[in-house]
Amino acid sequence: MLTANRIIGIILIFFSSAVWYIASGFPEQGGSGPGTAFFPQMMAVLLIIISLGLIFVNPVTEEQTKFTKEQLFQFLLIVITLVIYIFLIPRVGFAVTTLFAAFAFITALNKANHLIAAVTALIITGSVYAVFRFLFNVPLPQGILF
């Protein structure tokens, strides 16, 4: 049975093998002691052993978390929105993108009055901007707008 633990175990084994392979190309250290590749390779071996444990130790008693198609769709939608938002910040400017992102998230989470959502988004953006920009003097990214 392909349980979640088994899938994760297999992914981790692939990951560790890649780590081992890349690390084997590292040059030797000139001085004494273990070299550049020693630590990552040792950890890769350890992770493979643990992954085998994940695959073979009591898979029956493992709780199965269901992950529906609808959930996956929702999750991807949020993540993609975040990626677009982050991508646009340095290009369009922090204030404008954040205003839109906040509005989008608020309306998606609560189908209430659009005006209230807009005002809330404005307040969130304004206060984050003010705190970071003026109180802490952290330069926030500005794109073509601000």
Which residues inside 61-90 make contact with another protein, applying CB under 8 A? 63, 65, 67, 71, 74-75, 78-79, 82-83, 85-86, 89-90
* Choice from 33, 60, 73, 115 touching another protein (CB under 8 A): 33
Q: Is 19 near another protein (CB under 8 A)?
A: yes
CA–CA separation, 2 vs 55, rounded Å? 9
Q: Identity (one letter) of the amino acid at 30?
A: G
Q: Is 10 near another protein (CB under 8 A)?
A: no
* Choice from 110, 113, 122, 126 touching another protein (CB under 8 A): 110
| Own/partner long-range contacts of 124-129 (Cβ < 8 Å, ≥24 apart) | 124/98, 125/95, 125/98, 125/99, 128/98, 129/94, 129/95, 129/98
Q: Is 126 near another protein (CB under 8 A)?
A: no
Q: Is 92 near another protein (CB under 8 A)?
A: no
- Let me know: does 70 contact 117? Beta carbons within 8 Å: no
Q: Is 102 near another protein (CB under 8 A)?
A: yes
